[in-house]
């Protein structure tokens, strides 16, 4: 296998001790037996029963892949509900130094839920893979539809802006910067409503803190991220996601991005580009839309629209019925064709023909591997370090079950007549507080930043 990056070990992540470099993130306190961090102390683990595993799902077909894993459609056998299941091979994550990213994404997703996010329902593992089971959205991502030459109207993009603004405002209330808002990470449901996904480079910052890492997809990254990287300045904050939203809205309307930026552009050249190149807006767009895009694409983050209250003041969105947006009552201008699967069909062929460890053969493969492992002396393993890392993941991986969590909360709500001990009441209240306030509470406090 590839040479393992040992920096994954030691201070950054070791057996029983997960940490992320920098001041923003989480760690596993092996001695305390709980996850720690700026906000989350593992209270939900008390409500999550560790019963869901790979055998509880029927694998239907592959629909996508990325740098962190592959995605397939699954059906939960007992409820017959459909989900998307993302699975990441443990050995590949170790070799690519991606374990901490997977752990960070899981820890974030376990603590958030929103109507315009792709929400996590279950997380579990086996000997080979780590699994995330999330909402299934069959309308495809916006990148796919751009590649299919869909012509998005101002009316359609306006609703996307509203829905993503609500999602970003919710994330801000949870101290989360997404850092990768782009068409590839906006999934549509069958009705055409937008949902933000992919939190593998997201981060959490507390009040007064700033992020500093050079993270994101270059064409969508805000100028202050590059400035901070070059000058070692004060860093950046939530404003970067709203810049990305502006870039995405421009691209949907025009078919290309406002700046000619590619992944191989040097950071130094990008800093100069933002100071010399001005964005060109189409003369066919409404003045109100252009005015909003100008505020989202303001180079100085202090003057940029960067919260829900800001964009609600724009003339372009002043008449939007935000309560109806929250409840998905507005009909999207673009509705994906329900008669087709909106993804690359080669994903399924790759899984069936080219994949060396296909999911549909996992059960037989694991049984065979277990038999082989029992027949040899583990002390003679040629890759002790890899085995140590795999054992550490097995030990520290946090299993999650939102279905059981919701049932626990419902039971707590129904048992108000029975007195509770102070310790139980405190724990339950903490879990309730951290649970979803969904979109209605966001709308009710729309003036907050």
Q: In what order do the strands lie in the sheet with 400-401?
A: 57-66, 69-76, 82-89, 129-134, 120-125, 400-401
Domain of 54: which CATH number? 3.30.200.20
- Do 322 and 348 lie in a common domain? no
Cβ neighbours of 287 (radius 10 Å): 10
The count of domains in the chain is 2
Shared domain check, 359 and 245 = no
| Position 421 in a domain | no
Tell me if 436 is assigned to some domain.
no
* pLDDT classification of 31: cutoffs 50, 70, 90: very low
Alpha helices in 206-301 (DSSP H): 223-231, 239-254, 267-276, 287-296
Write out the H or E segment, with its range, that includes residue 27: strand 26-29
pLDDT digits (tens, 9 = 90+) for 182-229: 999 999 999 999 999 999 999 999 888 999 999 999 999 999 999 999
Over residues 156-170, the mean pLDDT reads: 98
Catalytic member of 180, 184, 198, 396: 180
Instruction: For residues 26 and 48, state if they share a domain.
Output: yes
Report the range of poorest mean pLDDT among 303-317, 325-339, 356-370, 434-448: 434-448
Average pLDDT of the chain, as a whole number = 81
Question: Residue 33's domain spans which residues?
Answer: 6-138+344-405
Q: Work out the burial of residue 272: count CB atoms within 10 Å of its CB; fewer than 13 is exposed, 13-18 middle, 19 or more buried.
A: exposed
The region, left, alpha or beta by phi > 0 then psi within -120 to 50, assigned to residue 425 is alpha
47 pLDDT more than 60: no
Share of the chain above pLDDT 70, in %: 71
Confidence at residue 64, expressed as pLDDT on a 0 to 100 scale: 81
Is 311's pLDDT higher than 90? Answer: yes
pLDDT(420) > 70 = no
For the cut 50, the answer to whether the pLDDT of residue 58 exceeds it is yes
| 109 shares its domain with 216 | no
Could you tell me if 69 and 84 lie in one domain?
yes
pLDDT, tens digit, 9 for 90 and up, residues 236-288? 999 999 999 999 999 999 999 999 999 999 999 999 999 999 999 999 999 99
Residues 172 and 109 occupy one common structural domain: no
Q: What confidence category does residue 234 fall into, taking pLDDT thresholds of 50, 70 and 90?
A: confident
The neighbour count for residue 413, using CB atoms within 10 Å, is: 10
Identify the CATH number of the domain in which residue 265 sits: 1.10.510.10
pLDDT tens string 98-150: 999 999 999 999 999 999 999 999 999 999 999 999 999 999 999 999 999 99
Judge if 303 and 349 occupy the same domain: no
- One domain, residues 362 and 242: no
CB 84 within 8 A of CB 63: yes
**Can you give the pLDDT at residue 440?**
47
- Which token pair is 114? 């929103």
How many CB atoms sit inside 10 A of residue 15's CB? 16
pLDDT of 386 = 87
| 127 part of a folded domain | yes
Binding site feature residues for ATP: 86
| List of residues 6+ apart from 419 with CB closer than 8 A | none
Mean pLDDT in residue range 43-48:
45
Cα(178)–Cα(199) distance, rounded to whole angstroms? 6
Question: What was the pLDDT predicted at 412?
Answer: 84
What is the per-residue DSSP string for 373-385?
A: HHTS-GGG-S-HH
Are residues 167 and 291 part of one domain? yes
C-beta of residue 203 within 8 angstroms of C-beta of residue 212: no
Mean pLDDT of the region 393-410: 91
In a domain, 437, yes or no: no
- 329 pLDDT above the threshold of 70: yes
Question: 256 and 268 in one domain?
Answer: yes
Q: Token pair for residue 140?
A: 């495809």
Q: Is 180 a catalytic residue?
A: yes
Per-residue model confidence (pLDDT) at position 225 = 97
CB count, 10 Å around CB of 320? 18
Per-residue burial over 355-394, b = 16 or more CB atoms within 10 Å of its CB, e = otherwise = eeeebeebeeeeeeeeeeeeeeeeeeeeeeebeebbebbe
Our measurement of the distance from residue 57's CA atom to the centroid of its chain's CA atoms, rounded to an integer in Å, reads: 22
Q: How confident is the model at residue 369 (pLDDT cuts 50, 70, 90)?
A: low
Q: Has residue 91 been placed in a domain?
A: yes
11-20, 50-59, 272-281: range with lowest mean pLDDT: 11-20
In a domain, residue 357? The reply is: yes
- 118 vs 352 pLDDT, higher one: 118
Rounded CA separation 150/420 (Å): 56
- Is residue 30 predicted with pLDDT exceeding 70? no
Does 360 score more than 60 pLDDT? no
Residue 312 and residue 361 in one domain: no
Flag whether 174 is in a domain: yes
Query: 403 in helix, strand or coil?
Result: helix
Residue 432 resides in a domain: no
Burial class (CB in 10 A: 0-12, 13-18, 19+), 344: middle
Quick one: pLDDT band at residue 6, thresholds 50, 70, 90?
very low
Mean pLDDT, residues 43-56: 66
- Choosing from 265, 300, 326, the residue where a domain stops is 326
Does residue 166 contact residue 265 with C-beta atoms inside 8 Å?
A: no
């Amino acid at each position: 296998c590839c040479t393992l990056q040992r920096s994954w070990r030691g201070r950054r992540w070791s057996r029983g001790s997960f940490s992320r470099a920098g001041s923003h993130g989480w760690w596993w306190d092996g001695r305390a037996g709980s996850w720690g961090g700026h906000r989350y102390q593992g209270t939900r683990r008390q409500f999550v029963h560790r019963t869901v595993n790979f055998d509880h799902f029927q694998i239907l077909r592959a629909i996508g892949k990325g740098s962190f894993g592959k995605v397939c459609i699954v059906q939960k056998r007992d409820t017959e509900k459909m989900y998307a299941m993302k699975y990441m091979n443990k050995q590949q994550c170790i070799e690519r130094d991606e374990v901490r990213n997977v752990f960070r994404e899981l820890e974030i997703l376990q603590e958030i839920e929103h109507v315009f996010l792709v929400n996590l329902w279950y997380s579990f593992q086996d000997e080979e893979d780590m699994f995330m089971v999330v909402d299934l959205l069959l309308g495809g991502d916006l990148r796919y539809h751009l590649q299919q030459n869909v012509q998005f109207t101002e009316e359609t993009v306006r609703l996307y802006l509203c829905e993503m603004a609500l999602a970003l405002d919710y994330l801000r209330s949870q101290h989360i910067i997404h850092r990768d808002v782009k068409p590839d990470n906006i999934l549509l449901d069958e009705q055409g409503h937008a949902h933000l996904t992919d939190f593998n480079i997201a981060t959490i910052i507390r009040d007064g803190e700033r992020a500093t890492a050079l993270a994101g997809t270059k064409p969508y990254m805000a100028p202050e991220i590059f400035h901070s990287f070059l000058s070692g300045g004060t860093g950046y904050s939530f404003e970067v996601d709203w810049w990305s939203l502006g870039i995405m809205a421009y691209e949907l309307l025009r078919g290309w991005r406002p700046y000619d930026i590619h992944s191989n552009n040097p950071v130094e050249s990008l800093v100069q580009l933002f100071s010399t190149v001005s964005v060109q807006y189409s003369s066919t767009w409404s003045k109100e839309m252009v005015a909003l895009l100008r505020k989202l694409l303001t180079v100085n983050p202090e003057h940029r629209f960067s919260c829900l209250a800001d964009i609600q003041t724009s003339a372009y969105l002043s008449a939007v019925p935000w309560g109806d947006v929250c409840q998905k009552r507005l009909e999207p201008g673009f509705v994906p064709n329900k008669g087709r699967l909106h993804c690359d069909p080669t994903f399924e062929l790759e899984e069936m023909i080219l994949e060396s460890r296909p999911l549909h053969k996992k059960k037989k493969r694991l049984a065979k591997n277990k038999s082989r492992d029992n027949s040899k002396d583990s002390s003679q393993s040629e890759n002790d370090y890899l085995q140590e890392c795999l054992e550490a993941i097995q030990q520290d991986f946090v299993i999650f079950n939102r279905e059981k969590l919701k049932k626990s909360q419902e039971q707590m709500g129904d048992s108000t007549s029975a007195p509770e001990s102070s310790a139980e009441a405190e724990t339950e209240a903490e879990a309730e507080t951290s649970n979803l306030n969904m979109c209605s509470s966001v709308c009710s406090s729309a003036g907050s930043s």
